[in-house]
Structure 1
Amino acid sequence: MFDLQGFATSALAFLVAFIAAGLFTVAFKVIYQWVTPYHEGKLIREGNVAAALALGGALVGYVLPLASALSHTVSLVEFCAWAALAGIIQIAAFTLIRVVVMKDVAARIERGELAAGVYLASISLAVGLINAACMTS
C-alpha cells in the first residue's frame, strides 16, 4: 500500500536537499568564475572549448562531493558545511595549479588550448572524486 504521508515527508526532504545543492552549485560557479583570471562566459560564447572543458570539469568536480554529502549527512546544516568545504578545496586546487604548476593557464585557456582545458578538467574531477570519497567516513 502507498504511504502518502511518508511520501510527502520524503518528497519535501528531497526538494529541500535538491534546492540547497542547486544553490550551492550556483554559488560555487559564481565564485569559481570570479577566482579564475579569464572570463569563462565570454570565452564559451565565443566557442572556446578549452574554457568550457575547464568550467565543466570544475562543476562536475564540485558536484561529486555534493552528491556524496547528500548521501552521507543527516542534516541540512551538516550538508551545508560539507558543501562549503568541497568548494574551498576545489578552488584551492585550481589556485595551486594556476600559481605553481601552470602559471600561464589564463593565456592558454584564452587561446583555446584544449590540452590546458582537459588538464584543468581532469584535476577538478580527480579532486572531486577524492573529496567525495573522504566524505564517506
Structure 2
Amino acid sequence: MEYLEGLLAFAAYFGMGLGFVAFFLLLFLYLTPHRELQLIRDGNPAAAMSLAGALIGFCLPLAQAISHSVGMLELGVWGLVALVGQFAAHVFTRLLLPGFPTRIERGDNAAALLAAALHVGVGMLNAAAMTY
C-alpha cells in the first residue's frame, strides 16, 4: 500500500505542475499584444517558436521545483518564481527587440529564435538557482 502514498504525491505534484503550466499559458497569452494561438493556427512558425521557447523556459525551473520541493506550499512559491523569471525574460526580449509583437505577426523567425533562446536561457538559470 506504500505505492498508493507515492501515487497520491505524484498526482498532487503533477496536478499542481499542470495547473501552473495552464496558468502560465493563460497569463502569457493574455498579456502579450499579439495573438499567438491564432497566429499559430494560421501557420506562423515565428509565433510557435516564440511561445514554445517561453513554455520550455517556464517548465525547466518548474520541473526543478517539483523535484526539489518538500511540500505543495514550497512548490507554489518556486512556481511563482519561475513565472516571474519568464515574464522578466519577455520584458528583456521586448527591450532588445523593439516592435517585437509586430515582428512575430510578420513571421520574423530571427526575432522568434532570439526570444525563444532568451526564455530557455533564463529558465535554465532559474532552474539551476533552485538547486539549493
TM-score range relative to shorter protein: over 0.9
Give the percent of matched residue pairs that are identical in Structure 1 and Structure 2. Answer: 39
Deviation at 1:96, TM superposition (A): 2.4
| Alpha-carbon distance in structure 2 between the residues aligned to 1:95 and 1:32 | 12
In the other structure, the counterpart of 1:105 is: 100
Deviation per CA, 1:77-104: give whole Å up to 9, x if none. 0001100111011012201221x21111
Match runs of 1:1-137 below 5 Å: 5-98=1-94, 100-137=95-132
Which of structures 1 and 2 has the bigger CA Rg?
1
| Alpha-carbon distance in structure 1 between the residues aligned to 2:61 and 2:116 | 15
Gaps of 5+ in 1: none
TM-score by length of 1: 0.94
The count of aligned residue pairs is 132
Q: CA RMSD in A?
A: 0.7
| Alpha-carbon distance in structure 1 between the residues aligned to 2:58 and 2:77 | 14
The runs of at least 4 consecutive aligned structure 1 residues that moved more than 3 Å come to: none
TM-score by length of 2: 0.97
